[in-house]
Structure 1
Amino acid sequence: MITSPAFAGKRYAVLGLARSGAASVEALLASGAAVTAWDRDEGRRAAFEGRCDLADPLGLDLTGFEGVVVSPGVPLNTHPIASHAAKYAVPVIGDIELFAIARRDMVEHRVVGITGTNGKSTATALTHHILAMAGIPAVMGGNIGEPVLAREPLGPNENGVGVYVLELSSFQIDLTFSLDVEAAALTNITPDHLDRYADYAAYAAAKERLFAMQSARGFAVFGTDEGPTAAIRARQVERRGEGRAVLAELTRFEALQHEWPALQGPHNLQNVAVAVALAEELGVSEAQWRHALPRFRGLPHRMERVCETGGVLYVNDSKATNPASAAPALAAFPRESGINGGAPRIHWILGGLAKEETLAECEAHLGEIAAAYTVGEAGPMFAGLLEGRVPRVERCELIAEAVRRAGEAARPGEVVLLSPACASYDQFRDYEKRGEHFRNLVGVIAGCETCAPGDFAGEEA
């Protein structure tokens, strides 16, 4: 794990003991800090019984504490911890701020920070993949995989200075104050998490703080020149110069995209342009990234090609939790003259817990839909929005029924696509569970021999 003498002898409270909180406690204890930890879940508290004090920081006198470390899942706009800590002038921080503090005592390294509403996970994994294949020591963490504090720190290496590649959510950035990354990226900004922010502008401002923390000599790349992203880039160009705040060059990669099976669709063209810009800033050559891209396998639940059976392709895009992230998936499978006479070929499964009462971002691609199968709480609303606009709409309620109907209707050359445009919480714990359920269903219902169906017990409540 990553530790630092900067924490030794200091007092911290940690609120929330899921992955990042547990990693923070472990790193602080190993560094010689005094820790008071708390989580409503008794099982999570039990893991630290006898190793540190267990008490809710809301009931503590925080005088003398260095900071209150909270999980990104704690809603600072409504949770009383922020005002309680303010009474004692104690900062509320997150694990990424602890990492930023620890950097001062770490072996020479560089850090990449990647944020955005959509695409940041793929851009992060792809950047890490390119660096690793180029022989540059790299560690991936943040909002993807293991928390960064739980990772083994990079050491001296004959292949050059190592790189930490961090995916950063707006919630993590809210809790970070001194992370000056050598290279940063913003894929895009669309309305999201508005239950945590006063409005869309406040959400965009949270993303912008990653770039405000950077020094003027740092490198920044932006995936689009639209909306708030364009405004943020303009301010960074003024601050640091055009060559250090650049727009990703999508046209540079268009002719090559057919070489990358796991990186299809316009959104992945953006992800490639962002990742390559970051990699080249860190010393990767064109020959190296061209070798790496075809070998990228993609991430689970993000345009994941589950299997092809009977000529029908099944794609798991469960990570598409809003219409803006579902739209690129619809654009990734355009009608082709040689397939079913050029008819639309997507059987779209959508629905769940809606973040928006519109499918506006998807409307430009409705011509690619052969049929829509609506599920979950948002199913009736989406069915009403789509009826009369796509050839067929089937109200299914459950994903199991949607996969069965879509599999029966799809013809060779067509695609059954789970891209829900919704959160999963009406029926599933998270988008991962929803995606795993879809995979299992494809194995059971579609008879895909390459899928491992596991224990199939029907829809989750």
Structure 2
Amino acid sequence: MIVSSAFAGKTYAVLGLARSGLATVATLVASGARVVAWDSQDTARALVADQAELGDPMEIDLSGFDGIVVSPGVPLNKHPITMRARIAGVPIIGDIELFALARATLPPHKVVGITGTNGKSTTTALIHHIIEQAGYPTVMGGNIGLPILSQPPLEPNLHGVGVYVLELSSYQIDLTHSLDCDVAVLLNITPDHLDRYNGFEGYVASKARLFDMQSEGHVAVIAAEDESSQAIVNTIRHSRVGGNPSPDIIEVASTDIDPVAQLTWPALQGPHNAQNAAVAIAVARALGISDDDIFPALTSYASLPHRMQAVATHNGVLYVNDSKATNAASTSPALAAWPPIDGRPRIHWIVGGIAKTDNLDECAPYFGNVAHAYTIGEAGHMFADLLRPAMAVDDSEMLSAAVRRAARIAQPGDVVLLSPACASFDQFRDFEARGDAFAAAVAALE
């Protein structure tokens, strides 16, 4: 756990007591801060009752508070806490900002921050793996599901200073004001989470703030393969030409990766992973890690759960769990990863859930790779009608039924791919539960 004198004697409200909220309370209390915590769930409040005062920041007097630490899940554009904090003159922040404030009291270190619409978790884990294999002290945290405040502070070793690797969602960036990343990364930007922003432009601006917080001489690694990412590159470059403090820019692309070399990286197949690998290589080099350490680490890297994760092979058919793909843009590269062999499409695609749009336009270029689709969930009927002109479709409704039906049809060399292009909340608690259900259904096959 990170403990810092930066918080001693200060007063914070903590709103939301899931993983990051619990870690926040523990860090602040251990650091000598007064903490008033709240969650709408009685069971969550009970977890901190012996550490913090309990009080709803919508009801208590906020005078004299140094900050309100909210969960990234709190919609600042809709929640009344935003106006109440503004009236009280108290900043709304997140746990990443607390980490940023604590940095001055930590042993010498560097920070890599990774954002983007798709690929963040894989790239975060890959960068962490490369750094670890090179012998540097390192931990990862943030949106990847590991609260950074609960991680141990890093001490330098013979290889150099420690490196904190942070996956950062746009929500977390919105709650952060002083995180000066030694290396900041942008993978891509496609429309997502638009209910939280003033249109797509507001979402893009949230991503761009990661680079606004960087000091001159630090490094921005940007995969400028979409218009919005390229616009951020141009803005940073223009700022530098104008004499403003700005990071150094490294532009990368998936085409930087040798496809023959990529074949030797088992967990990094497909064009989307070429982009992830190109970014990770650039980040590692920016940190001073040699190619002699980088490329063996690409070979030894193993997939994260629910992200293009090979879960089993039955009768020559590969079953892949890509449950983390919750929009069409993140499913598209999965469909691209297995092209036809001898003209025969190989993918048996399980798709559906709660749709974020009424189309699958980003996936359409790879419909030719799909032998059969199996639609599930709330969007199942809509997607079945949409896909029938392009491929054979089974409107399966339930995930377990889709797995059984795909297993009956698939041939050796085929891939049964759960890449839903949808949120999971119609049938499952979250994408992890959906991926676990897929793995269980695969395990039950005879």
Asked if residue 67 in structure 1 is aligned to residue 67 in structure 2, the reply is yes
Q: Which residue of 2 aligns with 1:302?
A: 307
Determine what percentage of the aligned residue pairs are the same residue.
57
The answer to whether the 8 Å contact 1:216/1:239 transfers is no
Q: Write out per-residue CA displacement over residues 27-86 of structure 1, whole angstroms, 9 at most, x where no aligned residue.
A: 000000000000011111111113221010110111100000000011111111111111
Q: Which residue of 2 aligns with 1:204?
A: 204
The answer to whether the 8 Å contact 1:225/1:247 transfers is no
Equivalenced residues, count: 441
In structure 2, the residue corresponding to 1:195 is in which secondary structure?
helix
Task: Return the TM-score normalized by structure 2.
Answer: 0.97
Give the CA deviation at 1:227: 1.8
Asked if residue 244 in structure 1 is aligned to residue 245 in structure 2, the reply is no
Asked if residue 376 in structure 1 is aligned to residue 389 in structure 2, the reply is no
In the alignment, structure 2 segments of 5+ residues that lack a partner are none
The answer to whether the 8 Å contact 1:302/1:320 transfers is yes
Q: Write out per-residue CA displacement over residues 171-194 of structure 1, whole angstroms, 9 at most, x where no aligned residue.
A: 000000000010010000011011
Cα distance in 1 for residues equivalent to 2:352 and 2:316: 25
Q: Write out per-residue CA displacement over residues 365-410 of structure 1, whole angstroms, 9 at most, x where no aligned residue.
A: 00011011000000111111111111x1111110111111100000
Cα distance in 2 for residues equivalent to 1:16 and 1:248: 37
Alignment of 1:60-459 (within 5 A): 60-240=60-240, 244-254=248-258, 255-337=260-342, 342-390=343-391, 392-444=392-444, 446-447=445-446
Please identify, of 222-231 and 91-100, the stretch whose mean Cα deviation from structure 2 is larger: 222-231
Asked if residue 49 in structure 1 is aligned to residue 49 in structure 2, the reply is yes
In structure 2, the residue corresponding to 1:57 is in which secondary structure?
coil
The answer to whether the 8 Å contact 2:267/2:301 transfers is yes
In the alignment, structure 1 segments of 5+ residues that lack a partner are 448-461
Give the CA deviation at 1:136: 1.2
Give the CA deviation at 1:253: 1.9
Give the CA deviation at 1:145: 3.4
Cα distance in 2 for residues equivalent to 1:17 and 1:419: 30
Cα distance in 1 for residues equivalent to 2:183 and 2:152: 21
The answer to whether the 8 Å contact 2:217/2:247 transfers is no
Cα distance in 1 for residues equivalent to 2:207 and 2:107: 28
Alignment of 1:21-32 (within 5 A): 21-32=21-32
In structure 2, the residue corresponding to 1:59 is in which secondary structure?
coil
In structure 1, the residue corresponding to 2:196 is in which secondary structure?
coil
The answer to whether the 8 Å contact 1:217/1:240 transfers is no
The answer to whether the 8 Å contact 2:215/2:247 transfers is no
Give the CA deviation at 1:225: 2.7
Give the CA deviation at 1:249: 4.1
| Counterpart residue identity of residue 129, structure 2 | H
Give the CA deviation at 1:108: 0.6
Cα distance in 1 for residues equivalent to 2:261 and 2:296: 12
Give the CA deviation at 1:243: 9.1
The answer to whether the 8 Å contact 2:224/2:253 transfers is no
Q: Write out per-residue CA displacement over residues 185-242 of structure 1, whole angstroms, 9 at most, x where no aligned residue.
A: 0000011011111211101111111011111221011123322111011111223479
Q: Which residue of 2 aligns with 1:10?
A: 10
Task: Return the TM-score normalized by structure 1.
Answer: 0.94
